[in-house]
């Protein structure tokens, strides 16, 4: 019974997005495709055209170092993008950080003045017998070089620390650790804070993140969402999962909602840009086969033209502007709007919809028994020219939605008569992007939060060409559902 409930909950959390997503996913090779390339990171922030990654490409030196299994060692490489948009040749990141053992993964602060890198305790050199587990080491930029390499104060040779992630300001460190006394099993993800110059004791992120299996490669997104890799959480193999904090507690992790990334192979070391438009991860198809870096990107909606969705207004106050006296003993007043008669001199009227309206204001002098049309006006009620975010079958979007409830969002009420609409891009503000006039979406996290939904209209400019026309946004409040 418990298993069935869990499955049901799991399905509710994933949110079925049908085939509406259009992330482009492909293998990205920075160097030689025959080499092992893993764990990409941006050098600085995600707008940087410089990446670092780990690779086991052959040494250019006289001695080729290997690990205990005879595998070539991984080193940290840096690669930049050329003017033509292609990646250049990767080179070793820094000689001072290169050891005779496996180096990396690595992480940086946003200002690139501080880094944290994994180093193995033992160095495999001819005559050296033991390679040990890894520890975390910090380095600080001093001019052009990295210096002052300092070990993480909680390193221990009987513990194995891996895949660090530094927050942009460098005050919080996430990492994976093995053999910790409070571990749930395998590698678990921990967090440590820099307080008064010292790092706090590593704190296990808890059972909603960590499992009895392998949990590794944490990446904290600018939104506060934590992405990580796991063999638990009913993953097929190593899959990417995501969680976020709510009321100081990590919510139960859910699978990554970008379709086609989690598959039957291994996915890990996931990173994604702050605007959710692009990212990288490592994919390994089978044992013995090298791992490769894969990238994904969403159709560009880098559109600076953003407008709030305005409510179409159908209800107005109509009044006679200059009445010096309103004396119903002498006068009767009424309005005739097309064929509809509404008594009174000051009224609220809701037009049934867009269209042309003849508005006449009638005054009857009860003493002389005469009726005149006191004033007239012709009114054209038009819809506001804009994209409209609504739920399917409705013309509006509610202010409040429930989490864990699948909804069909629709752009069907869009009114842009002068635009040849080629399509729509949806951004739900929680890392989910989709394309299509109607999309299914579930806000999976049961937290009280506001999200800005953005709908970008794509305008056709050629038989197969389109460009972003404008982005329309509307804020909603998601409250915990059942």
Partner 1 sequence: MTFGNESDISWGDDDFSQAFFFQVPVDYENQVFIRVFDPDIGGSIDEIRGNWNTQCQFEVYGGEGCHSEEDARETSPFGNYKSGTLLDMKVFGESSRYDESWYTFGPFNPAEGEALELVNNYYVFKVICEGITGDDGNMFRYFLSTSANENIPIEGANAFAYEYSFRMHNDINEVSHIYPYIAEGTLTVQISNFDWDNDGNILVVSRERQGQLIEISNEADWVDDQIKVFEGEVGLSYDLQMPKRKPVLVRNNNVVVNVRNQYDETMPFYTSPIGGVPKYKYSIIME
- Binding region for partner 1 (CB under 8 A) out of 211-219, 314-322, 383-391, 440-448: 314-322
**Nearest distance from C-beta of residue 351 to partner 1, angstroms:** 11
Using rule CB under 8 A, residue 377 touches partner 1: yes
Closest CA relative to residue 268, chosen from 222, 297, 236, 224:
236
Strand partners, 435: 425
Using rule CB under 8 A, residue 379 touches partner 1: yes
Using rule CB under 8 A, residue 285 touches partner 1: no
Phi, psi of 161 (to 5 degrees): -105, 145
H/E segment holding residue 106: strand 103-108
Strand partners, 147: 140
Alpha-carbon distance 272 to 133, whole Å?
28
DSSP state of 23: -
**What is the token pair recorded at 421?**
């609409």
**Nearest distance from C-beta of residue 320 to partner 1, angstroms:** 5
Alpha-carbon distance 53 to 61, whole Å?
20
Alpha-carbon distance 14 to 442, whole Å?
8
**Nearest distance from C-beta of residue 330 to partner 1, angstroms:** 5
Phi, psi of 4 (to 5 degrees): -70, -40
**Nearest distance from C-beta of residue 309 to partner 1, angstroms:** 22
Q: Which of 47, 287, 368, 400 binds partner 1 (CB under 8 A)?
A: 368
Using rule CB under 8 A, residue 44 touches partner 1: no
171: left (phi over 0), alpha (psi -120 to 50) or beta: alpha
Using rule CB under 8 A, residue 337 touches partner 1: no
**Nearest distance from C-beta of residue 356 to partner 1, angstroms:** 14
* Angle (nearest 5°) at CA 178 between 175 and 184: 95
- Binding region for partner 1 (CB under 8 A) out of 48-56, 132-140, 364-372, 422-430: 364-372
115: left (phi over 0), alpha (psi -120 to 50) or beta: beta
Q: Which of 184, 265, 331, 451 binds partner 1 (CB under 8 A)?
A: 331
Alpha-carbon distance 75 to 97, whole Å?
9
Q: Which of 34, 84, 287, 322 binds partner 1 (CB under 8 A)?
A: 322
Using rule CB under 8 A, residue 86 touches partner 1: no
Q: Which of 72, 141, 278, 319 binds partner 1 (CB under 8 A)?
A: 319
Q: What is the CA radius of gyration of the chain?
A: 31
Using rule CB under 8 A, residue 216 touches partner 1: no
Closest CA relative to residue 294, chosen from 78, 40, 76, 88:
40
Distance of CA 7 to the CA centre of its chain: 25
- Binding region for partner 1 (CB under 8 A) out of 85-93, 222-230, 357-365, 394-402: 357-365
Alpha-carbon distance 70 to 55, whole Å?
15
Using rule CB under 8 A, residue 327 touches partner 1: yes
Using rule CB under 8 A, residue 334 touches partner 1: no
**Nearest distance from C-beta of residue 335 to partner 1, angstroms:** 9
- Binding region for partner 1 (CB under 8 A) out of 123-131, 203-211, 236-244, 359-367: 359-367
Q: Which is nearer to partner 1, 140 or 331 (CB)?
A: 331
Q: Which of 321, 339, 353, 399 binds partner 1 (CB under 8 A)?
A: 321
Q: Which is nearer to partner 1, 130 or 313 (CB)?
A: 313
**Nearest distance from C-beta of residue 323 to partner 1, angstroms:** 6
Using rule CB under 8 A, residue 375 touches partner 1: yes
**Nearest distance from C-beta of residue 413 to partner 1, angstroms:** 24
Q: Which is nearer to partner 1, 217 or 361 (CB)?
A: 361
Q: Are 116 and 166 in contact (CB under 8 A)?
A: yes
Site string for partner 1, 139-158 (x = CB under 8 A): --------------------
- Binding region for partner 1 (CB under 8 A) out of 66-74, 150-158, 327-335, 446-454: 327-335
**Nearest distance from C-beta of residue 396 to partner 1, angstroms:** 22
Sign of the torsion formed by the C-alpha atoms of 458, 459, 460 and 464: negative
* Residue labelled with tokens 């005054």: 363
Q: Per this entry, what is the length of the chain?
A: 482
**Nearest distance from C-beta of residue 234 to partner 1, angstroms:** 59
Residues 97-126 that bind partner 1 (CB under 8 A): none
Q: Which is nearer to partner 1, 182 or 356 (CB)?
A: 356
Distance of CA 170 to the CA centre of its chain: 21
Q: Are 25 and 295 in contact (CB under 8 A)?
A: yes
Using rule CB under 8 A, residue 380 touches partner 1: no
Task: Name all contacts of 272-279 with Cβ < 8 Å and 24+ positions apart.
Answer: 272/219, 272/221, 272/227, 272/431, 273/46, 273/47, 274/45, 274/46, 274/221, 274/222, 274/223, 276/427, 276/431, 276/432, 276/433, 277/301, 277/302, 277/433, 278/46
Give the footprint of partner 1 on this chain (CB under 8 A).
Answer: 316-325, 327, 330-331, 359, 361, 363, 365, 367-370, 372, 374-377, 379
């Amino acid at each position: 019974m418990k298993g069935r409930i869990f499955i049901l909950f799991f399905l509710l959390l994933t949110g079925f997005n049908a085939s509406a997503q259009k992330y482009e996913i492909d293998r990205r090779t920075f160097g030689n495709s025959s080499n092992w390339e893993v764990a990409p990171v941006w050098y600085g922030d995600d707008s940087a055209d410089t990446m670092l990654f780990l690779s086991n490409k052959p040494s250019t030196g006289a001695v080729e170092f290997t690990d205990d299994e005879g595998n070539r060692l991984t080193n940290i490489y840096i690669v930049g993008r050329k003017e033509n948009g292609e990646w250049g040749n990767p080179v070793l990141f820094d000689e001072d950080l290169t050891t005779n053992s496996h180096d990396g993964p690595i992480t940086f602060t946003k200002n690139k003045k501080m880094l944290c890198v994994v180093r193995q305790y033992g160095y495999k050199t001819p005559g050296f017998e033991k390679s040990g587990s890894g520890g975390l080491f910090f380095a600080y930029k001093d001019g052009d070089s990295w210096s002052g390499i300092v070990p993480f104060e909680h390193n221990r040779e009987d513990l194995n620390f891996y895949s660090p992630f530094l927050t942009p300001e460098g005050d919080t460190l996430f990492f994976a650790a093995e053999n910790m006394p409070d571990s749930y099993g395998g590698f678990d993800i921990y967090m440590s804070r820099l307080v008064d110059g010292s790092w706090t004791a590593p704190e296990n992120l808890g059972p909603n993140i960590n499992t009895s299996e392998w949990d590794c490669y944490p990446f904290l997104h600018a939104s506060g969402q934590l992405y990580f890799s796991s063999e638990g959480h009913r993953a097929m193999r190593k899959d990417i999962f995501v969680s976020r904090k709510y009321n100081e507690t990590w919510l139960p992790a859910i699978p990554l909602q970008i379709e086609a990334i989690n598959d039957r192979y291994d996915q890990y070391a996931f990173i994604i840009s702050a605007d959710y438009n692009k990212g990288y991860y490592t994919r390994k198809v089978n044992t013995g086969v090298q791992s490769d870096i894969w990238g994904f990107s969403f159709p560009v909606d880098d559109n600076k033209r953003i407008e709030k969705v305005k409510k179409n207004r159908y209800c107005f106050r109509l009044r006679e502007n200059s009445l010096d006296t309103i004396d119903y003993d002498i006068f009767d007043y009424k309005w005739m709007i097309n064929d509809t008669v509404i008594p009174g001199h000051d009224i609220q009227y809701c037009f049934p919809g867009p269209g042309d309206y003849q508005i006449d204001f009638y005054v009857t002098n009860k003493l002389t028994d005469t009726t005149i049309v006191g004033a007239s006006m012709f009114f054209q009620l038009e819809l506001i020219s804009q994209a409209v975010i609504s739920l399917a079958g409705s013309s509006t979007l509610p202010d409040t939605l429930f989490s864990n409830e699948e909804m069909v969002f629709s752009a069907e009420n869009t009114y842009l008569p002068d635009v040849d609409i080629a399509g729509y891009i949806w951004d739900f503000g929680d890392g989910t992007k989709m394309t299509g006039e109607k999309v299914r979406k579930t806000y999976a996290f049961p937290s009280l939060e506001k999200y800005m939904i953005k709908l970008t209209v794509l305008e056709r400019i050629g038989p197969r060409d389109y460009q972003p026309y404008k982005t329309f946004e509307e804020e909603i409040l998601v409250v915990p559902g059942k």
